[in-house]
Amino acid sequence: MTQRRGRKAPRSFPRHGVRHVTHAFNISRRGLLAMAGAGLASATLPAALFAQQGRNILIIASGQDIPNFDPHVASGYSASFLMRNVYDPLVRVAGESAEPVPGLAQSWENSEDGLVWTFQLNPDAVFHSGAPVTAADVVYSFERALRLAKGNSWMIRGIVQPGQIEAVDDHTVRFTLDAPFAAFLAVMPWIFVAEQAQVEANLGEDDGQTWLMSNEAGSGPFTVERFQVGTMYYLARAENAWQPEGGNLDGVIWQIVRETATQRLMLQRGEAHVAVDLTSEDMDALEGAPGVVRVIEPEYRTFSIKMNTAQGPMADVNLRRAISHAVDYEAILASAGYAELMTGPLPNGIFGFDPDLDVPRQDLDKAREYLAQTEWAEGGLTLRMVHVSGLEQQRRWSLILLDNLRALNIGLEIQPLNWPDMVAACASPETFPDLFPVYQTANYGDPDNIAYAAYHSSRNGGWSNAVYANPEVDALIEAGRVETDPEKRAAIYLEFQKAVVADAPDIFGVLENRKLGLREAVQGYRFTPVASNAIEAWPLSL
C-alpha cells in the first residue's frame, strides 16, 4: 500500500496521477523555515536536514522516472530499483562475481539431472500486509509473470511452464523443467513475488495491472511511502522488514535529476548520497572531490558494432574480417571514456569468458590480405553506417571507422537516426545497414544472456541480433544453456567464442565501465556487475 499508515482511505490513482500528502516528513516548522527562509543555502540540502533529525535517509539521484510499479510488467533500471527494494525474489545476486545469495528462499537444491529445482522459503518472510510469504504466492507470481508475458518474463519463457511450478508445502516450491537451464539461478533475482491475496483483491479487468501500477504487494525491506510522478519516490523501511542483517537506513529517496551535471553537483554538495547516471566527464570532474567516492567498475555491458552478415557486401566474411582488422581499437577505447576493450563476444570476466581468445586487432597488412579475397580487392565500395543521433560516442566511433576504412579505399556513409528508426531498420536484412553500433546490457549475470540475445538466430529481426545466424553457433548456445556441469559448460562457451570470432559478425568494441558516485558516508556498499545502478539499499548504512 502506498498509503501512509494511519491515514484515510487510499486516493484512487488515475484521478490525480500524484499522491500528495499535506505535510512535510514530520519536519519541524523551524526546520522548514530554515530551509525556506533566510538561510537559503540550506533550501537544497535535505540530506543535512535528515541527518540533523537523526534519520538515515539515503538519497539517490537518477535520471529515470518509475512510471510503473508492477513487478511483472515494468522494466528498465529504475523499475528494477523499486522492485529490488520493495519486492523479494527467491534468490538475490550479490558480490563482485554476481553470486546467487538467499532472498525469499533460504536454501535451494537442484536434482542430479538438472531438471528439478526445489526452494525452501525463509519461514520469517512476511509481506508488508503482515501475511507470511507462502509457496502459493511464489507459484502465483511466476504464473502471473508468464501469463502477462511482459517485463522480465522473457527470462523464464520456454524454460518454466505454467503448471510445472508447485507448492509442495507452505514453504517449499518446486520447479520441474523440460530441459536443464544452467542460468536458472541467475534469472531468479529478476522474477519478483507479489502477495496473491492483495493482487486478487484488486484484480480489476486486467489481472491487477492497474492496481499494481501504483500500489505494491511486496515483502521487500522497504515500502513505497510516498511518491510524486516525475519528481521523487520515497521508500520507507518496512515496519515488519524480516530480512536478516541489513544496514541502518530508515528510508531511501529516488530523486529524478535529469541532467547528469546536476547529479554530479548534488553529490558534491552532499544533496544526494548516490548518483547513478554519471558520464566519464563527470567522473573526471569528481576526481579528488572531498567526501565523494567514485565507483568505476566493469559491468557486463557490451558496446559493439554489428555488421550485416546476411545482405550486401558485408555478407562476405572476408570483407568483415578485413574491416575488423582495419579498425583502430585503441582509438575506439580512447573515445569510450572509462572502459576496457572487449576480447570476443562475451563480457570480460563473465563465466566462460576466454581472455586469451585470438581476436582481430588493427593490422592493415592482414586487412588487405582479407580484402584481396573479396571481389573488392582494391576497395572502391561505400558502406552505410547508422548511429543513434545525439549519442556522441557512437558518432565518434563512426568517424574513427570512416578514417580507418579509408586505408582500405572503402568509403563510409554515416547516417544518424533516432533510436526507434534504428530498431525499425533491424526488421529485415534488406533494411539493416552495413554497420550498426549497439549497447547490450546483461540482464542477468550469466553468459547465456548475452550469447542468446546477441548471437542466437531466434533473435533475428530484433535490435540485439538483427541478422546474424549460424546453426553451429545456435547449437553451442543451446548446449551451453542445458549443460549443468560447470567445466563442460565453460568448454562449450570457449568453443562458442571461437566460432563467433571466426564468423566476425561484430567489430567487438568495449565494455563501458559503470560509473557511480557515492558519498563517503555511505557504508556497506559492494559492487555487483549486474544492474548496479538499480541500487539495493538494504545492506547500506549512513
Partner 1 sequence: MITFILRRLLMLVPVLVGLTVIMFAIARLLPGDPVGLAAGPNATAAERAALAAEFGLDRPVWEQYGTYVAGLVQGDFATSLLTRRPVAADLAAYLPATLELVLAAMLLAVGLGIPLGLLTALWRNRWPDYLSQVLAIGAISMPRFFLGLLLQLCFAMWLNWLPLAGRLPIIVFPPDPITGFITIDAALTGQWDVLRTALLHLLMPALALSLSPLATIMRMMRSSTIEVMGQDYVMTARALGLPRHLILTRTIARNAVSATLTVIGLYFGWLLGGTVLVETVFDWPGLGLYATKAILSQDMMPVIGVALVIGLLFVFANLLIDLAYGLINPKVRYS
Query: Cβ distance 405 to 267 under 8 Å?
Result: no
We find the least distance from the C-beta atom of residue 466 to partner 1, in angstroms, to be 10
Question: Which of 439, 408, 419 lies closest to 77, judged by CA?
Answer: 439
* Residues 280, 294: Cα–Cα separation, whole Å: 11
Residues 359 to 418 in contact with partner 1, rule: CB under 8 A: 418
Q: Which of 2, 49, 199, 339 binds partner 1 (CB under 8 A)?
A: 49
- In 3D space, the residue among 478, 429, 489 whose CA is nearest the CA of residue 452 turns out to be 478
d(C-alpha 458, C-alpha 433), whole Å = 20
459 binds partner 1 (CB under 8 A): yes
Q: Which residue, 72 or 84, has its beta carbon nearer to partner 1?
A: 72
Q: Is the CB of 63 or the CB of 114 nearer to partner 1?
A: 63
Minimum distance, C-beta of residue 464 to partner 1, in the bound complex (Å) = 4
Query: Which position among 8, 9, 20, 130 is part of the footprint of partner 1 (CB under 8 A)?
Result: 20
Alpha helices in 348-441 (DSSP H): 364-372, 392-406, 419-425
127 binds partner 1 (CB under 8 A): no
Which residue do the cell numbers 588487405 mark? 368
| C-alpha cell of residue 207 | 489481472
Distance CA 130, CA 197 (A): 12
Determine if 229 is a binding residue for partner 1 (CB under 8 A): yes
CB of 190 to partner 1, least distance (A): 12
Identify the residue whose cell numbers are 555487483.
528
* Least distance in angstroms from the C-beta of 22 to partner 1: 6
Contact call for residue 5 and partner 1 (CB under 8 A): no
Task: Assess 116 for contact with partner 1 (CB under 8 A).
Answer: no
Stretch that binds partner 1, among 117-125, 152-160, 216-224, 339-347 (CB under 8 A): 152-160
CA gap 29, 35 in Å, rounded: 10
Which residue of 15, 54, 287, 365 would you call a contact of partner 1, by CB under 8 A?
A: 15
Q: In angstroms, give the least distance from the CB of 424 to partner 1.
A: 4
Output the CA angle 8-13-19, nearest 5 degrees: 60
Minimum separation from the CB atom of position 453 to partner 1 (A): 6
Among 108, 192, 463, 508, binds partner 1 (CB under 8 A): 463
> In the set 6, 29, 245, 365, which binds partner 1 (CB under 8 A)?
29
CB 178 within 8 A of CB 157: no
Shortest separation between residue 332's beta carbon and partner 1, angstroms: 23
In the complex, minimum distance from the CB of residue 238 to partner 1, in angstroms, rounded to a whole number? 20
Q: Which is nearer to partner 1, 24 or 475 (CB)?
A: 24
Mention every residue, 6+ apart, whose C-beta is less than 8 A from residue 62: 78, 81, 254, 255, 256, 257, 263, 275, 276, 277, 533
User: DSSP label at 390?
Assistant: T
Q: How many CB atoms lie within 10 A of CB 278?
A: 25
Binding mask 502-541 for partner 1 (x = CB under 8 A): ----------------------------------------
**CB-based burial of residue 351 (10 Å sphere; 0-12 exposed, 13-18 middle, 19+ buried)?**
buried
Q: Which is nearer to partner 1, 258 or 526 (CB)?
A: 258
The number of C-alpha atoms within 13 Å of 172 and in the hemisphere containing its C-beta is 7
State which of residues 209, 219, 302, 304 lies at the interface with partner 1 (CB under 8 A).
209
Provide the minimum distance between the beta carbon of 18 and partner 1 in the complex, in angstroms, as a whole number: 5
The answer to the question of residue 423 lying near partner 1 (CB under 8 A) is yes
What is the CA 510 to chain-centroid distance, rounded? 17
End-to-end CA distance of the chain: 26
- Contact between 464 and partner 1 by CB under 8 A: the answer reads yes
Q: Phi, psi (5° rounding) for residue 268?
A: -65, -40
Return the residues of window 280-339 that contact partner 1 according to CB under 8 A: none
- For residue 479, CA distances in Å to 110, 160, 179, 245, 452 come to 18, 17, 11, 39, 11
Per CB under 8 A, the list member of 230, 244, 291, 380 interacting with partner 1 is: 230
Distances (CA, A) of 281 to 331, 364, 397: 17, 32, 18
Site membership for partner 1, residue 146 (CB under 8 A): no
Q: Which residue's C-alpha cell is 580487392?
A: 377
Residues 233-272 that bind partner 1 (CB under 8 A): 253, 255-259, 262, 265-266
Say whether residue 427 binds partner 1 (CB under 8 A): yes
* CB of residue 420 to partner 1, shortest distance in Å: 4
Using rule CB under 8 A, residue 101 touches partner 1: no
User: Which three cell numbers, joined as nine digits, stand for 529?
Assistant: 556487475
Name 439's bridge partners. Answer: 303
CB of 393 to partner 1, least distance (A): 17
Q: Which helix (H) or strand (E) holds 200?
A: helix 196-201
Helix (H) or strand (E) holding 334: helix 329-334
Kindly tell me which residue out of 132, 411, 461, 539 binds partner 1, with binding defined by CB under 8 A.
461
Site for partner 1, rule CB under 8 A: 13-18, 20-25, 27, 29, 32-33, 35-37, 40-41, 43-44, 46, 49-50, 59, 67-68, 70, 73, 75, 149, 154-155, 157, 209, 213, 226, 228-232, 253, 255-259, 262, 265-266, 418-421, 423-424, 426-427, 453, 458-459, 461-464
